[in-house]
Amino acid sequence: MGRAITKAFDRLGNFQPTLDLYPYRMAPIVRNTPDGREAAWVRWGMPSSQKALMDAATKRADKLRAKGRQVDFDELLKIEPDDPVSITLVR
């Protein structure tokens, strides 16, 4: 581990990195801030692609239309939940 990263972990004490990263779970990261590097626990995940959100909203709109409901697709797309994509690290 680089010296700067090691120092960032040292400031927080026993702050162990992990390779088990899953959506909605907390994981340690080192990030750059105006005051230097900082170790922090953050909720892990990546935002869904625009295509994934569009596909999910289209599927939802089709189901609503099949039930005879009118759909404001732009509004439906805005409220489509964004489940983060998990990160898989290979050792």
Give 34-66 pLDDT, tens digit per residue: 988 887 777 777 777 888 889 989 999 999 999
Q: What ranges do the domains of the chain cover?
A: 3-43, 50-79
Greater pLDDT, 75 or 6: 75
Predicted local distance difference test score (pLDDT) of residue 88:
43
Greater pLDDT, 13 or 70: 70
The tokens for 73 are: 């697709």
CA distance 17 to 30: 10
Provide the sign of the torsion angle of the four alpha carbons 61, 67, 70, 76, taken in this order.
Answer: negative
Predicted local distance difference test score (pLDDT) of residue 69:
94
Greater pLDDT, 86 or 44: 44
Give alpha helix (H) positions in 12-85: 50-66, 73-79
